[in-house]
Chain A
């Protein structure tokens, strides 16, 4: 396969701190996820998750919570398969965790 067209999988998990939030996620400035009423199940620390195909290389992920006027972006080097965890901190900020292993929930 042509290196320029190599695809990778980005797995995004909305984890802690979401309380009936409208969450919008853009990847490379294109909206790939929009969902109202996202709510964390605190006993497992997970609200929602999805997977999206992206081109290998640098990927810009932007998370927006319009009602809370919050947005944060991160540029990830994505090859093959990358797991991105997005949380809202108690201080009301968006935080990220990146892993090459699947997240586990308990």
Chain B
């Protein structure tokens, strides 16, 4: 059954929480249309633009996660239509979802297509298709779009969005120039004879070029003149000098993401005449806010014999300004779109556009050189670039938000429009708050959400080589978790029945990158699991967690030793008999922080390393000639008393805390291992008791019956042994 909501009255536009723009998006005149005729477009009521829906404060029949505020960006006509719709949902529970769909026209006012991209809390947005019906009106604010979301195994959802603006985002520019340098912000499109035959004759401004890319462009105040003394004695600009000048002279400077950009026109960079311009702001936490154009660099040199050198130079300076500003929108060069992951993360799989007549290509790099380039250049960005600028999640595009060349998480995932499996990342605690020093253990849950059995690899969730785990601390670039070890499991399929789930724990604090989760603050973690057979990626919900600040000086002091590679490896591999420095630190943790969750992890690792015989490779002589013959495997004896003490206090002392900090899966694993160890040494009574305690603890924590049954069976096995 469809649910339909219509809200006639919409309060003033509120920007996205993640956009952080403080100004309302005003009602504007429509986006100018390409090669416009004499017909005024104001009342043609073109469909493209941004639409908005705001939910009522509550609605008993509505999923609470999908209440809140939604935007729809419809891109089907006007300048360079991409036949795309995208949407942003900011739910009443502060969860954000972003989706993109390709559209085909059903008729002149209706479009439909598959949702091929999702970002954010995708688990609460299962829909895979969208249909959009626009109802025109002579009054823009009465124009609406009826959007039907369908697919994903849930009932259709229908919403009616109100038209807000013909543009997709608001942005503001400030053009400052250094004393003696003229800002080039317009070009006469017919001034140079080498141009496309169909190019309209106009005086094109930078603002207009970006309006055609879909932006409502405003100026952030007066354009200023910067004294030449700001460059120092050499009158050339270093990146640092420009960064300083940006902070002093840009009226909007702030260390935060905002849809605002500073453009500096200057004479030369300290590099010399070979640098025509640069988006210099890849320093500090908020990249891409500032860009510069160097009028006296090589861009002032028209080719020998050019038909109109003056117009050529003006056009080249204008092109350079738009090019550098494009970098501020996080656009790469046309030949840098497709690249290995170590160069940076592309937001979706991209292909290079070496022939593109785009602001982002170098005119002299295309076949035929700059003459061929400008012969076909229409003062625009490519379709792929427009898709990104108009429809990518705002945080990738907005100045000061995503780092330059870093588009975050899992945008390369090949996500099925009709997923059969759902991957969930979660914690075994009410809120994802971890103490300082507490190792972070997460739980993965893979559920068959289809109506048919699904075949999966038996160890799919343990196959870290099939998994990408991204960890992003707020205000820092995302990092990929690299585990210390990967395991090669025998290929073995299992059937996962409809509704059935499998689970696995995931320790993500430390790996080959070091301690990815250590400092206090907020982190977002997301997992992508590659399903080889289906050639698909399953992307989990992004899990947001917080690491609390340290309790005091002692913890901070201990942290310097704790966040070491040795401790990371010991905790990963449940103990070590050779990483002595790490073991010393864990003993110190047990002594000084005995009532804290981190001590439970320390005791488990120390206890495990002492519970069993341990083989160690000894190299008595490390000189190359003698190394091989001097190697031997030594077997060390267990320290059963100490092992029992450490494991007992870790696992039995405070079961609820142990289950919470170790996670249900690992807690059960350690208790099973310990009770087996006790039973094998003849103490079946103790083994039975701790299994009974385990049963009670996990029962209180509402784990699956199947797990409780497994505990009972283990108890029965011990009883039978007696």
Contacts and interface: CB of A to CB of B under 8 A. Distances in A.
Contact of A44 (B275, B335, B344, B352): B275
A43 B298 contact: no
A106 B338 CA distance: 19
A104 B299 contact: yes
B268 to A, nearest CB: 13
B276 A90 contact: no
Given A43-B282, A43-B327, A105 B276 contact: yes
B277 interface: yes
A41 interface: yes
B641 interface: no
B277 A90 contact: no
A56 interface: no
Interface string A90-106: 10100000000011111
A21 to B, nearest CB: 10
Contacts of B28: none
A104 B333 contact: no
A17 B343 CA distance: 7
Nearest to B333: A45
Given A104-B297, A104-B299, A43 B342 contact: no
A92 B275 CA distance: 26
Contacts of A75: none
Q: Which 6 A-B residue pairs are closest in the complex by CB-CB distance? A: A104-B298, A106-B276, A90-B339, A43-B279, A43-B327, A19-B342
Contact of A42 (B274, B323, B343, B364): B343
B411 interface: no
Interface size class of B (residues with CB under 8 A): 20 to 34
Interface string A30-42: 0000000000011
B477 to A, nearest CB: 14
Contacts of A105: 271, 274-276, 278
Interface of B: 271, 273-279, 282, 297-299, 320, 323-324, 327, 332-333, 335-336, 338-340, 342-344, 352, 362, 364, 404-405
Interface of A: 16-17, 19, 41-45, 90, 92, 102-106
B275 A90 contact: no
A41 B282 contact: yes
Contacts of B352: 90
Contacts of B320: 106
A104 B363 CA distance: 11
Contacts of A41: 282
A104 B278 contact: no
Given A102-B298, A104-B274, A106-B320, A42 B333 contact: yes
**Chain B at the A interface: SS class:** loop
A44 B269 CA distance: 13
Given A104-B274, A104-B364, A105-B271, 18 more contacts: A16-B336, A41-B282, A42-B344, A43-B404, A44-B278, A45-B333, A90-B343, A90-B352, A92-B340, A102-B273, A104-B276, A104-B299, A104-B362, A105-B274, A105-B276, A105-B278, A106-B275, A106-B277
Contacts of B338: 90
Contacts of B343: 17, 19, 42, 90
Contacts of B344: 42
A42 B336 contact: yes
Nearest to A83: B274
B336 to A, nearest CB: 6
Contacts of B297: 104
A93 B404 CA distance: 24
A105 B294 CA distance: 11
A78 B333 CA distance: 30
A88 to B, nearest CB: 9
A33 B272 CA distance: 22
A103 B282 CA distance: 23
A17 B344 CA distance: 11
B336 A106 contact: no
B278 A43 contact: yes
A19 B344 CA distance: 10
Contacts of A16: 335-336
A104 B303 CA distance: 13
Contacts of B278: 43-44, 105-106
A102 B336 contact: no
17 contacts: A16-B336, A17-B339, A42-B333, A43-B282, A43-B327, A44-B275, A44-B278, A45-B333, A45-B336, A90-B338, A90-B339, A90-B352, A102-B273, A104-B274, A104-B275, A104-B298, A106-B324
Contacts of A103: 274
A43 B325 CA distance: 11
B274 A102 contact: yes
A33 B399 CA distance: 37
A37 to B, nearest CB: 14
Contacts of B275: 44, 104-106
A95 to B, nearest CB: 11
B274 A90 contact: no
A11 to B, nearest CB: 10
Contacts of A92: 340
